[in-house]
Structures are given as C-alpha cells and as structure tokens.
Amino acid sequence: MEKKIREWADSVKRAGCTIRSVTLLNEIRKKDGSLLFALADTDVCSPEGQPLPHIIFIRGHACVIIPRIENALTGDKRYIMVRQRRIGSGELSLEFPAGMLDEHSENPAGIAIKELEEETGLDLPHDLIFPLHDKMLYSSVGGSDEGIYYYGCNIKVDNNTFNAFNLRTAGNAHENEHITVELVTREAAESQATSSQVPLGLYLFDKYIKENGDVADTL
C-alpha cells in the first residue's frame, strides 16, 4: 500500500474506525513515480457502528510557515509572503510559503525550512523556527486527508537584507511555479489574501507571540 494511503488508513484506525474496503478510483503520480494524489471509494464504519461518507481524496499532509522579519535599522516589521497564480481560482494569490510533505511526513519542520528557502531565499537553521500549534490542522476533513502543520519565525536582519526580499522572484519552473516574494504589512495580508491559510496563520502567530513574547532572533 502506498505511504500516503497507508497513513490515511492508520489515522482512521487510530480514531477507532473500521476499514472494510478501499477501492482506488484514480491516481496521479509525479515524474519519479511516487504518488501525488489518489481518489478512493471506501467502506468505513465508525466506532458507533455508522458508515462514514465513502469518497476520500488522498492528498497527504503539508506545512505552512509564517515568517515575520524586522528591519534592525528602522524597526519596521513585515511578513515575507509569496504571490503566485493558482489553478484553483486562476487568480494571483498572496500566501505564506508552504509545501506538501509527500514522502517526508515525519519531518514537517524540515520541509517548512526547505520550502521557505526555495520560495523566498530565507535560509534558517532549525532552531529559529517554532511550531504554532501542537498538532496538524485538517484543511477539508469532510473529504480529504490533508492535514497542515503551521510554523513561524521571527527574525531581525540588517537594512540591506530586509529590503532585498521585496519583489524577489523564485519558484520551480519545472513545476510551473512563478513566484514573486513580497514584504507585506499585517493589514495588507489580511485585506489581500484569499487563501484561508493566511488569516489562520496570522491568528496562530499572534497567539504564539502573546504567549511567548515578541523577541526577534537576530540572523
């Protein structure tokens, strides 16, 4: 059984449900042959003896990182965000750096750091990011297995480094990624974003800062 499908099945079983059957309806694979997405028809019974809705879109888990950066010269604080056109809406979408875990579901923090560097150019050691929630949060649990891990970082940099992030271009052309990096105020992030990860990420970041203090790590 494919790792993504097995992890979904293990999660359902841990919740006390019984899987009677799983019929694969369709699958999409990456160029290396690994599973990207799968659609399955299932027969799953709850601990209460009731059948669950039978169609599951297996996507696997993902991570999001909310990076806030402070200008050591001016004290200006901005979020490093990415803007790219998305197939779901066709629109340019303002988002935080994020990525799918795929075969690395045991290392969400490592993938968050990797995605942050690939999408924005900000390369951080592991000890400068922090989890914003104690468990992953499901994005659409009624029909998909995808759970998202949220991380944050709070970094202080010199003036030149701060300004160098704005309007930087990035992305993997082989995956049709065309990303523009932007330094965004809290107000602009709230007003321009159409992805639910943004307000949720901001809320979790604020909660973390309130509980742990607003002290930026110097990079």
Which residue do the tokens 């160029």 mark?
31
**pLDDT grade for 219, boundaries at 50, 70 and 90:** confident
pLDDT digits (tens, 9 = 90+) for 37-76: 999 999 999 999 999 999 999 999 999 999 999 999 999 9
Q: Quote the pLDDT of residue 173.
A: 72
In terms of Cα–Cα distance, which of 152, 115, 114 is closest to 133? 152
For the sheet containing 35-45, what is the strand order?
A: 18-29, 35-45, 55-58
**pLDDT grade for 1, boundaries at 50, 70 and 90:** confident
Q: What is the pTM of this model?
A: 0.95
pLDDT digits (tens, 9 = 90+) for 16-36: 999 999 999 999 999 899 999
Query: What is the C-alpha separation between 114 and 216, in angstroms, rounded?
Result: 21
pLDDT digits (tens, 9 = 90+) for 173-218: 777 789 999 999 999 999 999 999 999 999 999 999 999 999 999 9
Which residue do the tokens 């560097």 mark?
117
- DSSP letter at 134? S
pLDDT digits (tens, 9 = 90+) for 125-180: 999 999 999 999 999 999 999 999 999 999 999 999 999 999 999 877 777 789 99
φ, ψ for residue 12, nearest 5 deg: -65, -40
Let me know: does 100 contact 60? Beta carbons within 8 Å: yes
- What does the mean pLDDT of the chain come to? 95
Query: What is the C-alpha separation between 190 and 200, in angstroms, rounded?
Result: 10
